[in-house]
Chain A
Amino acid sequence: MGSSRSSLRGVPDGQQLLQETGFSAALLLRLHQRFQFLDKDSRGHLRSEDLEAELSENPIGDRIVGAFFQPGQETVDFPSFVRVLAHFRPTEKNWTRDGVQPEPANSRNRKLKFAFQLYDQDRDGKISRTELLQVLREMLGLQVTEEQLQSIAERAIQEADLDRDDAICFDEFRKSLEKVDIDHKMSVRFLE
């Protein structure tokens, strides 16, 4: 592993990222290469146009791209890039919460938080009906009418909203998805 460690020299915060994200060194290197590929002007950071160029006809593409950027920022550097991708690593089954280590990025909770933030664009901690409707509209848009969309959104909120505040907070979101196998559905097999 010494050779890969040395080859991580070109990678900003390489060691720290290894620890944080749990990616292997080879994978980190590949992601760095990918980052450099996307960063066409070699600026050292990506803008949203660079990322969006890769997405092909994705209904929620812009949201996902937006998730890479911290609120208010217009660029994403490599560590942030990798940290977001780390959410999609398949979960290890034998990770135990011991309170000392910070929760790894690909734990179920973090994955859910990531998904939650896709909906909650204004970062107020709740998915309002407007936000849900927007997502539904993006995904279903052309096939259903506005009334139907609203019915669906309303129904979805009814199901999940337990404290009747007409919005879905993170806990309600998590509860409504407790039967879903998040680890499976939100993991990508990263190839080295």
Chain B
Amino acid sequence: MAERWRSALLLCLLMAASSLANSETPVSSSTGNETTGTGHETAAITTLPIVTWKWHHVEVPYLVALWVLVSWLCKLVIEANHNVTNYIPESALLICFGFILGGMIWGADKVQTFKLTPTTFFFYLLPQIILDTGYSMPNKLFFTNLGAILIHAIIGTCWNAATLGLSLWGCHQGGAMGNIEIGLLQYLLYGSLMAAVDPVAVIAVFEQVHVNEVLFILVFGESLLNDGVTVVLFNVFDAFVSLGGGAIDAKEIVKGIVSFFVVAFGGSLLGTVFGLLISLLSRCTKNIQIIEPGFIFVLGYLAYLTAEMLSLSSILSIVFCGVCCQKYMNSNMDENSIQTVRYAMKVFANGSETIIFVFLGISAIDKTIWVWNTGFILLTLFFILIYRFIGVFILTWFLNRSRLVPISFVEQIIMGYGGLRGAVAYGLAVNLNETKIKEKNLMVCTTLIVVYFTVILQGVTMKPLVQWLNVKRAATVDLTLVEKVQNKVFEHMLVAIEDISGQIGDNYWRNKWRNFEEKWMSRLLLKPSARKKQDRLFNVFHQLNLQDAMEYVKEGEHRGSLEFIRNESAFVDFKKKFGEDYEEAMPDIMAVMADDQGSAMRRDPVPSVSLEMHEQNMRGLREAEGINSHYLLDQHLYKSRKQHRYRFSRSHLDINQDENEVQEIFQRTMRSRLESFKSGKMGVAPPKTITKHTKREPQPKMPNGRNKPYHSGDEDFEFSEGDSASGYDTSFPMRVGYRAGAGIENPAFMPDLDPSSPLHIPPWLADAGLEVNPVAPSERAQVRTPGHLHRLASLRTSAQPGDTVRDRNLLTPPPPPHRDDDHL
């Protein structure tokens, strides 16, 4: 509470300061130095000024920075208490704050010195928001529903514009609005600028509501793509208004229609070109990874401006730029860069959104623009709502006849209700030419009122409405591996069925696109190393393991002891079976484990066990290496590319929080699991590790994890080699076992049964060169492979005399090889 008052006071002070600064009264003549009031006047000075007041020197940037600060402070105040934001969306509160601030300025200056100018809005505030939406767009969802989105965007917006304009004109003719000078064309112009659903407002309101993703993408996609239509309609009607009613004939109308296609497709095409450009660029920026994140912003902005320059749809351009480049950027760039880009985008987008809403509030407090016409305003509100609902219902009815999953009635209501207007409409309204359009102020006012109505009222009531109507909410659970596998199976199944039944459907095209994309575009736009790791199933697998490990760490933290992480000798048990296997072999371990059986984790872990019998070994190992475990953790950690779930939130990024701590656990989990299962189930067999060992040594290109503070994506593969390192003991016999039963002989998988054959690189990897040899483990993994696990393995299985010797070999790490970073 006190904090809030402090912030409010601070705001007031800032406001006073800025209004003071802005007023024309010469303030500085009293600064005690013999200077003139304004710093840039070079009038004669009589003595050396020690300090001068240079307000005009810094006026513009200072005010800009101050306003940004003030807006963000408003957001801080709002977010201080979550109880309020649960009911009222943040955007509404920001507008209210804008009212207050506007009032203060008005009080100080008697004139509204600060308002949201179209230039500022369209050039400095909007692009980053749209870039963020394009970059974090769930592509698959978007393109699956593209048909529905386009129909709503194009036809829906045209419908909105036409009906609003015509209805208002009809009412005007009927005398409902009194005496105002607006002709039919101007009404249509007004309709076109009010018709568009606003992406900023939609995000702001829907972000807190969490409807299911199909519904969200329909509304949101529509709000983005309708810019193409809005721009065209606005320009066409603006031109028509200039030309005057008489000059409009069929030719002009045809031109109007043609211009729609040019603007929309041209904008998208331009955006795609820029997106591909960025992807290509990201392929080459390995050496300048420090500024790699910046390129997307610069090029995205250029895409926006170029489209604007060519009078194409700039929003479409920047959206498609983001949409096209996201996949390649995320694969090509270094992990740090990816994080930077994500965070920076969110910062800019969120910041801009805040500023926009605050200024929307401020701009209202201006006596000069206020013209009140009850009929006009109320009728506009009414028609907007009605026609939105009607439009949605009609269009959805058409769409449902050909959709596989129809859009339910409840969802249609939300779609209709989610047709929010926002700052784009306001920007367009302020851009109207007042000489041609006499009632510009009326239009501006009405637009503002409509915006307030939609953002505040509809925003506040959206959440209760969603809950009341029981709309299906967003899935909050990630897919399990089985689900992911099954989804893939389904995809292939559907393609096959379509092939067999001889029809060309969605799946056919999707498959074709995927093949094309894999063959051509990936080859061009992805780094070779990135191309190999594309498989999503595999990423999900890693993700799931990370989740396990994270839970594990949390559990450890909960118990107050993270010692086991830092202690390399800690024995990590994840499965009851593992424990059972060990029971006979090591009674003392079981004794310690028994104490911890009360843990609540589903996999019965034993976090804090430190095996005495192996501690000396590990300590010796550590001393021998001369590295402490902290350093190991810091330098050798594998960072997986966690693909963050598309929750589409402006302010939440689901990034792995505990990545650094988790990696080691993850590694060991995998190793131990593989070992346990294989040894437990597949029986005992002499481990054939000789072959794999020979593969390790002559590896010239290995990750130099120790020296580099960052890790490029190749770690993916290296990490998994760590798996292989430990799995070797028992994996070979397992391979043989599987081979016998395998129904499909995949020659690529012919096992390496000849123990004496040296460096046998599987053929499908051979042509990739030695750049990445996924079969060989990284030196990191070698270091990490806790010798004790192998010892345990050997205890479990019948001890082979050669084992311990081999294990000791494992313990001495090879000299850290240098990796050539030729990822191109």
Contact = CB atoms under 8 A, between A and B. Distances in A.
Interface in A32-46: 34, 37-38
B674 A121 contact: no
A55 B483 contact: no
| List of 8 A-B pairs having minimum Cβ-Cβ separation, nearest first | A64-B496, A185-B490, A176-B482, A156-B481, A34-B502, A54-B499, A143-B535, A160-B482
A56 interface: yes
A116 to B, nearest CB: 10
A184 B673 contact: no
A88 B743 CA distance: 26
Contact of A150 (B477, B493, B674, B774): B674
A147 B487 contact: no
A138 B745 CA distance: 10
Given A155-B481, A156-B482, 18 more contacts: A55-B499, A55-B500, A58-B499, A130-B738, A134-B744, A136-B537, A139-B489, A140-B535, A143-B532, A146-B735, A150-B731, A173-B482, A177-B482, A184-B405, A186-B493, A188-B501, A188-B505, A189-B402
B150 to A, nearest CB: 18
A159 interface: yes
Contacts of A34: 501-502
Contact of B538 (A37, A64, A138, A140): A140
A26 to B, nearest CB: 13
7 contacts: A58-B496, A60-B493, A64-B500, A135-B485, A139-B489, A151-B674, A155-B541
B727 interface: yes
A148 interface: yes
Contacts of A183: 405
A85 interface: yes
Contacts of B490: 115, 185-186
B450 interface: no
A118 interface: yes
Contacts of A56: 499
A88 B493 CA distance: 10
Interface string A147-175: 11011101110011000001010000100
Nearest to B681: A166
A121 B744 CA distance: 12
B238 interface: no
Nearest to A144: B538
Interface residues of A, number: 64
Interface centre among B498, B500, B681, B748, by most chain A C-beta atoms within 10 angstroms, is B500
Nearest to B752: A146
A47 interface: no
Contact of B494 (A88, A130, A151, A180): A88
B675 to A, nearest CB: 11
Contacts of B506: 189
Which bracket fits the contact residues of B? 35 or more
B486 A179 contact: no
A136 B743 CA distance: 13
Contact of B501 (A31, A142, A150, A156): A31
A130 B496 contact: no
Contacts, number: 173
Contacts of A136: 485, 537
Contacts of A65: 496, 500
Chain A CB within 10 A, most for which of B495, B535, B735, B742 = B495
Interface string B428-462: 00000000000000000000000000000000000
Among B496, B503, B746: residue with most chain A CB under 10 A? B496
A157 to B, nearest CB: 9
B496 A55 contact: yes
B488 interface: yes
A72 to B, nearest CB: 16
Nearest to A88: B497
Contacts of B483: 176-177, 179-180
Contacts of A134: 742-744
B385 to A, nearest CB: 30
Contacts of B482: 156, 159-160, 168, 173, 176-177
B54 interface: no
Contact of B746 (A38, A130, A137): A137
A30 B191 CA distance: 48
A50 to B, nearest CB: 10
A188 B494 contact: yes
Interface string B769-788: 00000110000000000000
